[in-house]
Amino acid sequence: MEIEELKTIWQQYDNRLDHLEKLNKKLILETLSKKPQKKLNWIKYRSFFSIFMLPVVLTLGLHDLFRIENIDLKFIIGSLLILVFVVIISYLNLKGYMVLKGVDLSNNSIIESARKVTEFKRLFVRKRKFNLMAFPLSFAGILLISWKSFHFDSNTIIFLIGVFVFSLALGYNQLKMYKARIERLEKEIQDLNESIE
């Protein structure tokens, strides 16, 4: 099939679309009045709330441990580990939000939009990878912060090992789940970059 034939087929297709039924005006009006949640906005809001979610959840969960008598070297190291984790995740969420905030479907060119989407996907992949890699450190951080609350008898140790193994298994499962998604996203990013070049 030659390119000219493609154009002819497209023209035939276009002519066939002349027979499209009239759009259901009632349904469109109903949709417009209900303002269905757009995918892009949903992700934008999620990114925005994620910036604050982790610090708030951790502060609420750990605030009881922040007492003068608890502060020692372990506590400080634990706090630093958690702080680094929270700062990096919040930074990646903030960057993602800023990228999506800049998307203007009405005025951006297709290439501008593609660049922003690529950047957002890259950040998404980076965040997932970081989450999985930093899990043992964040676990250690929480453990060190709450060190004084534990009485290290055999039950506690078994419980902690159980929690660690369970979380690690969960993390590993997530890694497997995201691996395919990450590979697909990376291929998409590569395709987009090739198209832009």
Which residues would be at the binding site for other proteins (CB under 8 A)?
1-3, 6-7, 9-10, 12-14, 16-25, 27-32, 34-40, 42-43, 46, 103, 105-114, 116-117, 181, 188, 191-192, 194-196
Provide the 3-class DSSP secondary structure of residue 144.
helix
* Min CB(42)–other proteins separation in Å: 5
Is the backbone of residue 23 left (phi > 0), alpha (psi -120 to 50) or beta?
beta
Residue closer to other proteins (CB basis): 118 or 138: 118
Q: Which amino acid is residue 33, in one-letter code?
A: S
* Min CB(44)–other proteins separation in Å: 10
Provide the 3-class DSSP secondary structure of residue 143.
helix
Q: Give φ, ψ of 125 to 5 degrees.
A: -65, -45
Residue closer to other proteins (CB basis): 143 or 175: 175
* Min CB(47)–other proteins separation in Å: 10
Contact assessment for residue 50 and residue 93, using Cβ atoms and an 8 Å cutoff:
yes
Contact assessment for residue 149 and residue 65, using Cβ atoms and an 8 Å cutoff:
yes
* Min CB(191)–other proteins separation in Å: 4
Residue closer to other proteins (CB basis): 13 or 152: 13
Residue 38 corresponds to which tokens in the numbers above?
A: 């757009």
Residue closer to other proteins (CB basis): 41 or 59: 41
